[in-house]
Chains A and B, each alone.
Chain A
Amino acid sequence: MKKSIWVVAHHQVTDIKPVTFELLNMADALARQIDATVNTLLMGPSVAALSSQLIGLCDNVYIFEDPMLEEYHYETYQQIFIKMAERYRPDILIVSSILRGTDCFPRLAAHFGAHYVAGCLDLSYQPEEELIAYHQAVYEGRAILEGAFRLDRMAVIMTRPHVFAPSMERKRKETKVSLLEISLSPIEFLTRRVSSIKNVAISLGEALVVVAGGRGMQGAGGFKLLWELARRLHGAVGATKAAVDAGWCEHRYQVGQTGSLISPEIYIACGISGSIHHLAGIQGAKTVIAINEDPNAPIFKRADYGIVGNVFEIIPELITEIDSL
């Protein structure tokens, strides 16, 4: 039987999120190597209309609508994916680690005893040994693991956003849209959301532009300046461990060294000297821009563009320039 690769679509109200096109591109490349179908699972309280955005990008779109999906619950996801896997027997399930990947998919893999890959950077097929190979950043980004597994059971793969080029090329002549043939049983939720506090409009992992600060920002006040720059670029703010330890911003903003590993398109390092530990956190950043007073700061050896100068003068200047564009 033909193998099948499943991708879980990410979406917001009226759009399929770009990360979905990354996952589909990744799935398509692998599907060609192992002769598999590419299937997209589109799930939410009301998502059917979004399926048109997936035509030509995969063989099948499966829609699953349920009011229970209004709110995220790992318990709902667990039931949907268990039933989906039992009904359709996917060989590979690819999801993005953003949103709630690390909350529900480890548990799903544990349930099935499935191959489990987290922080996946790429997937390829090695025909001579019939293995699926992947790369993953380990040791807080200091090293890269190349792992390989046999497709002897289902594989659950969580990928890091922005590492694979999104493709909108409609390579497939036909895409069949159908409803996912499963029915949910009522769930007595054990975990229940009481309330939420929203802190940022865009998350560090998801942002294409990350404006990060280090010791050179001199305090929480300095970070306000970074927010000013970030919000003009629809970006997120990041911080070095030193800045977090100094209490200038919360740990959630930390990049590298027990913080996040990120791969933005643009990384703007402000007042960051550029220790190896920090740089390990921006593996895969496409363009690195550094602003630092010290022309000998190690960050300039890892930057594509550099400005030597005082961050408190350069950043306001940069903001003025962007506003005048």
Chain B
Amino acid sequence: MRIIVCIKQVPDVEAEFHFKPDYPGIEVEKMSMIINPGDEVAIEGALRLKSIYPETEVILLSLGPPSARETLEYGLSLGADRAFLIVNDSYTFGQPFRTAHILAGAIRELGFDIILFGYRAVDDRLHFVGPAVAEFLELPHITGVTFMKVFKGINKCEAHQEVPKGINILECPYPAVFTVKRGLFAPRYPSMADRLAAKEKGIETFPLEKFWDEKTAKRYPVLAGMRFSIAETVRTERKVQWADAKKIAGILKKYKARTPMTESALDKGSGEEI
């Protein structure tokens, strides 16, 4: 079984934030770059499946600048078998069609049974590339997966899909695309020995031109412009008014539930659709 995990190198938004108003909204060279947190969970999901079916090959795939090698190497240190970089000139933000088209091309080239993505990227937050790759490859998709099983004999996957009010358990045949969310798969940390071994494995590369040219680009929409500003909650201080419980209760009065939700509304249970 071959699992392809698509990963992206993104700025660490929790580290120091170097903003700029022009594309891509940050001073990339000053930011610390990490693996997209959701993608790390996707790698963990792949490795859990590998632990059940040891002959599984876990392949990492990334579209990114040369610095994305570090991210792929990190993924290898976690236990992935091979890693491919589609070499781009620079960090990209908000070019979802281009990314999905290029990844779909490379995935077709590599061959696959299961394709995993992080649920979303922390930078452009578009939730796009996973389902779009599924569309381009004409495969079924399940988004927001927190846990999955593969039944190899009957060619079936079962996935727990997190939705706003709970979890749906879905099944589908594979090949299929899944976008993975943090849930039961907590990412592991590599040891120093794993880190060194990953360097030995090496990164393979694809030239971008193999999957992308100007003619293809014309098929897809482009934005006419992008400008960035610092978010208001981060930028603006508010004037606090000191209060007591009675005053706050007064402010909340209009939200008071006529019938408070019962404990059981919060409980797990019921097979109804959510």
Query: Is the CB of B48 closer than 8 A to any CB of chain A?
Result: no
Q: Are B266 and A106 in contact (CB under 8 A)?
A: no
Alpha-carbon distance between A305 and B239 when the two chains are bound, in angstroms: 8
Alpha-carbon distance between A280 and B247 when the two chains are bound, in angstroms: 27
CB distance from B181 to the nearest CB of A (A): 8
Q: Are A144 and B169 in contact (CB under 8 A)?
A: no
A-contact 0/1 string along B156-168, CB 8 Å cutoff:
0010001111111
CB distance from A244 to the nearest CB of B (A): 9
Given A113-B220, A199-B167, A232-B260, residue A103 in contact with residue B131 (CB < 8 A): yes
Query: Is the CB of A52 closer than 8 A to any CB of chain B?
Result: no
Smallest CB gap from A209: residue in B: B255
Give the dominant DSSP class at A's interface: mixed
Given A102-B143, A148-B223, A195-B271, residue A203 in contact with residue B164 (CB < 8 A): yes
Q: Are B230 and A142 in contact (CB under 8 A)?
A: yes
Smallest CB gap from A158: residue in B: B127
CB distance from A297 to the nearest CB of B (A): 11
Smallest CB gap from A134: residue in B: B223
Given A145-B25, A279-B234, residue A307 in contact with residue B242 (CB < 8 A): yes
Q: Are A280 and B233 in contact (CB under 8 A)?
A: yes
Tell me which of A114, A145, A194 contacts B158 (CB under 8 A): A194
Smallest CB gap from A276: residue in B: B234
Given A142-B230, A143-B19, A233-B257, residue A196 in contact with residue B166 (CB < 8 A): yes
Alpha-carbon distance between A214 and B172 when the two chains are bound, in angstroms: 38
Q: Are B245 and A314 in contact (CB under 8 A)?
A: yes
CB distance from B137 to the nearest CB of A (A): 11
CB distance from A225 to the nearest CB of B (A): 13
Alpha-carbon distance between A261 and B125 when the two chains are bound, in angstroms: 10
Q: Are A200 and B228 in contact (CB under 8 A)?
A: no
CB distance from B228 to the nearest CB of A (A): 5
Tell me which of B38, B131, B224, B245 contacts A110 (CB under 8 A): B131
Query: Is the CB of A99 closer than 8 A to any CB of chain B?
Result: yes
Query: Is the CB of A48 closer than 8 A to any CB of chain B?
Result: no
Tell me which of A114, A250, A277, A282 contacts B14 (CB under 8 A): A277
Q: Are A107 and B135 in contact (CB under 8 A)?
A: yes
Count of chain B residues near A, Cβ 8 A = 98
A-contact 0/1 string along B89-133, CB 8 Å cutoff:
000011011001000000000000000000010111111101110
Collect the chain A residues with CB atoms within 8 Å of residue B167's CB. 196-197, 199
Query: Is the CB of B53 closer than 8 A to any CB of chain A?
Result: no
Q: Are B13 and A196 in contact (CB under 8 A)?
A: no
Query: Is the CB of B253 closer than 8 A to any CB of chain A?
Result: yes
Q: Are A208 and B231 in contact (CB under 8 A)?
A: no
- The B131-166 residues at the A interface (CB cut-off 8 A) are 131-132, 134-136, 140-144, 158, 162-166
Tell me which of B170, B231, B233 contacts A192 (CB under 8 A): B170
Alpha-carbon distance between A208 and B254 when the two chains are bound, in angstroms: 11
Alpha-carbon distance between A146 and B226 when the two chains are bound, in angstroms: 6
CB distance from B63 to the nearest CB of A (A): 16
Alpha-carbon distance between A111 and B25 when the two chains are bound, in angstroms: 29
Query: Is the CB of B215 closer than 8 A to any CB of chain A?
Result: no
Can you sample 10 A-B contacts with CB below 8 Å? A139-B11, A142-B17, A147-B223, A196-B271, A232-B257, A233-B255, A284-B233, A289-B251, A302-B233, A305-B242
Nearest 7 CB-CB pairs, A to B? A203-B164, A321-B249, A110-B132, A190-B140, A201-B265, A102-B127, A317-B245
